[in-house]
Structure 1
Amino acid sequence: MTGGDILGFQRNLAPTPVSDAEREALLVNPGFGKVFTEHMVTVRYADSKGWYDARVEPFGPIPMSPATAVLHYAQEIFEGMKAYRSSDGGVTLFRPDANARRFRDSARRMAMPEIPEELFLGAVRELVTVDEKWIPGQAESSLYLRPYMIASEVFLGVRPSAEYLFGVIACPVGAYFKGGPTPIKLWISEEYTRAAPGGTGAAKCGGNYATSLVAQAEATREGCDQVVFLDTTERKYVDELGGMNIFFVYDDGTLVTPPLTGTILPGITRDSIIQLARDAGHQVVERPYSVDEWRADAGNGRLREVFACGTAAVVTPVGTLRSAAGEFSVGDGTPGEVTLKLRAQLLDIQQGRAKDPHGWVQKAL
């Protein structure tokens, strides 16, 4: 089976389901990435036969040899997406086709097999269908979905693996902000960079996040919430945060964001924000943006708002930028009008409370 036609999924469901009462208790305050649903999806791949053995089975450990390729050569990619309980009681996905395309792009960069879009989406829908009861119904809550793929061949040697495991797991998540979004503090990493031209910056692979952790730890020690990385060539232009893209809002309504040149992740939330901002009449400019420009325009009042965006937090206002040279703030320390408007509009579309003019929302059930 090459995967050109969607595989039939064999269901091996949990023999003792979680009780309704236990599940409801877990959904009250699930946090993020701590409570997982009862099942997972796995599909295997081998160069000799393509995609095969599609299964739904109880969530649990994945047996592997200590010589499994992913443990030594880091051939691994993943995605982050959400399923929502819509206002009519149905279940929807937000731009899952975009996740499927980005997953294929990441696989290509990491010398891994490209999973067909229909198989990727079929696996996601299969898990959502089986674990539909785990989707929270509270405002801004959702079921976070984590498709991933790892090199599963057992061997030692520097070459692409000949075998892979694709899977999907899920965890219910509540509102990222309790009591509304609060501006975060950012730390400029001057010693560490995230990705270089020709590297894996545009791929959603674990290595990009692993290299960001030492800088994130530094940011935490400096009393900041997130780290912002600069370009590797001149060390002056903003790339992205450890796990989010970033936007700058000027007094004339113009939005500026770093361009996709291969060193930053092409965020699906980023792309959605650009479209919604342009729909609302804002000019959106994708260009290199320096820290010096950030500092100067925050000081003269031209820069009114800064926000970061990503699947987990959706839209996050940024208040303060801190570095070894000192710190400065943008605006009056409260979330800006444009930031909040775009955030509310995107959430309303995702959860079925507003019109979806671009056809981003797809029915999962």
Structure 2
Amino acid sequence: MTTIDAETTAAPLEFAVTKNLNAATPARVAEVLENPGFGVVFTDHMVDICWSAKGGWHRPRVQPYGPIPLDPAASVLHYAQEIFEGIKAYRHADGSVHTFRPDRNAARMQASARRLALPELPTEYFIESLRQLVSIDERWVPSGADQSLYLRPFMFAKEAFLGVRAAQKVAYYVIASPAGAYFTGGVKPVRIWLSEDYARAGRGGTGKAKTGGNYASSLLPQAEAYAKGCDQVVFLNENRDVEELGGMNVVFVFKDGRVVTPESDSILEGITRDSLLQLAQDRGYTVEKRPISIHEWREGVASGDIVEVFACGTAAVVTPIGALVGTDFEEPQPLGELALSLREELTDIQYGRREDKHGWLVRLV
């Protein structure tokens, strides 16, 4: 049994640990870590914490990874009351394992929970749940270049009840999967399809929440992007302002030293994005979060005012955008040096190769 040091806002939790008696062999782990892929192989254990309206957060456990029993009437299956997060653990040269800005992921999950009428998991519980899982499954944390252990905390309504209201019983889990380098053979510019027929989220909707429904609504236009020979899709809002890609934020670099990213109440706050913006600001760039229209994007590239466009997110970190493609146009995008330079700086911090001046790293093991 292990205990977290809780603050006054959250009572201590004790995690019961049940070892997986059918854990992967060392040979199997080594085989997976040679070529981890992404989200296809999972570690031996998972975290499980229950919540109820009467009992609050309780029964925290680390248990063998496996199927989750669920009543057919569970609210999540009918009303999509569900949220999740994505965060990585990084192996440092001294063998220790760190994660990056978990307090921000915890805060974003709390904001998502508020929007989806789910209970807010305290920050200290969130961070400790990551520590518990990584501690028991540390051998799954890879040490290859650009490799990491991807952690997926998620929460869903499990109450068996068909009435349309917020569920009074909720489950929180954390699972983990070794992740290989997003780009094999180096970072490559991507082609982006401009979706004008579909919207990812609307004003007053769930765009700022990290909930599965947002991603479900992006799958059809993403398939359309693939059919058009593109790698990703970018969405607009009702004002024809740029929002985000299917799962990444967009950043524009202007020749006058401004770094601009779209901002609205339907765009998910990006932790990788905000970290890159802070590093750009440290270098003397002027950072702006504001609406930016598709017209400003296209005109800015055409006039030379915009000198670089890139996407960013937890999985890929930074991806230069090489082309914007629409129904009747294809426009090459300028490729600069800032995106890859910021990517190198950020990943150096995450892997412990460069000083963490902002105190972003949290040691897990």
TM-score, normalised with respect to structure 2: 0.96
Separation in structure 1 between the aligned mates of residue 215 and residue 279 of structure 2, nearest angstrom: 28
Counterpart selection for 1:29 from 32, 35, 41: 35
**Match of 2:297, SS?**
helix
Dislocated runs of 4+, deviation >3 Å = none
Q: CA deviation at 1:27?
A: 0.8
Instruction: Specify the alignment match of 1:353 in structure 2.
Output: 353
Verify: 1:243 aligned to 2:251, yes or no.
no
Instruction: Specify the alignment match of 1:309 in structure 2.
Output: 312
Instruction: Specify the alignment match of 1:45 in structure 2.
Output: 51
Counterpart selection for 2:125 from 111, 114, 119: 119
Separation in structure 1 between the aligned mates of residue 93 and residue 354 of structure 2, nearest angstrom: 10
| Cα deviation 1:240-291 (Å, max 9, x = unaligned) | 11100000112233211112x2110001011101100000111112221122
Counterpart selection for 1:133 from 133, 139, 146: 139
Comparing 291-300 with 98-107, which one deviates more in the overlay?
291-300
Comparing 114-123 with 134-143, which one deviates more in the overlay?
114-123
Instruction: Specify the alignment match of 2:296 in structure 1.
Output: 293
Q: CA deviation at 1:118?
A: 1.2
Separation in structure 1 between the aligned mates of residue 180 and residue 220 of structure 2, nearest angstrom: 28
**Match of 1:345, SS?**
helix
Verify: 1:160 aligned to 2:145, yes or no.
no
Comparing 162-171 with 322-331, which one deviates more in the overlay?
322-331
Q: CA deviation at 1:183?
A: 0.4
Q: CA deviation at 1:325?
A: 2.1
Verify: 1:274 aligned to 2:277, yes or no.
yes
Q: CA deviation at 1:87?
A: 2.1
Separation in structure 2 between the aligned mates of residue 126 and residue 248 of structure 1, nearest angstrom: 39
* One-letter identity of the residue aligned with 1:295: R
| Cα deviation 1:205-246 (Å, max 9, x = unaligned) | 1111111111111111111100000012x2x21011110000
Check the 8 A contact 1:38/1:131 in 2, yes or no: yes
**Match of 2:191, SS?**
strand
* One-letter identity of the residue aligned with 1:288: P
* One-letter identity of the residue aligned with 1:348: D
The runs of 5 or more residues in structure 1 that have no matched partner are none
Check the 8 A contact 1:44/1:164 in 2, yes or no: yes
| Cα deviation 1:279-319 (Å, max 9, x = unaligned) | 01111122211222222222222222110000011011101
**Match of 2:221, SS?**
helix
**Match of 2:14, SS?**
coil
* One-letter identity of the residue aligned with 1:102: R
Residue correspondences, number: 358
Instruction: Specify the alignment match of 2:339 in structure 1.
Output: 339
Separation in structure 1 between the aligned mates of residue 225 and residue 205 of structure 2, nearest angstrom: 24
**Match of 1:9, SS?**
strand
Check the 8 A contact 1:186/1:227 in 2, yes or no: yes
Percent identity of paired positions between Structure 1 and Structure 2: 54
Verify: 1:320 aligned to 2:323, yes or no.
yes
Check the 8 A contact 1:6/1:122 in 2, yes or no: no
Verify: 1:78 aligned to 2:81, yes or no.
no
Q: CA deviation at 1:16?
A: 2.8
Computed over aligned residues only, the root mean square deviation of the Cα atoms, in angstroms, reads 1.2
Check the 8 A contact 1:3/1:50 in 2, yes or no: no
Separation in structure 1 between the aligned mates of residue 44 and residue 19 of structure 2, nearest angstrom: 9
**Match of 2:165, SS?**
coil
Instruction: Specify the alignment match of 1:4 in structure 2.
Output: 10
Counterpart selection for 1:226 from 226, 229, 232: 232
Check the 8 A contact 1:3/1:119 in 2, yes or no: no
* One-letter identity of the residue aligned with 2:187: P
**Match of 1:191, SS?**
coil
Separation in structure 1 between the aligned mates of residue 54 and residue 212 of structure 2, nearest angstrom: 27
Q: CA deviation at 1:3?
A: 8.6
Counterpart selection for 1:181 from 174, 187, 199: 187
Separation in structure 2 between the aligned mates of residue 51 and residue 330 of structure 1, nearest angstrom: 49
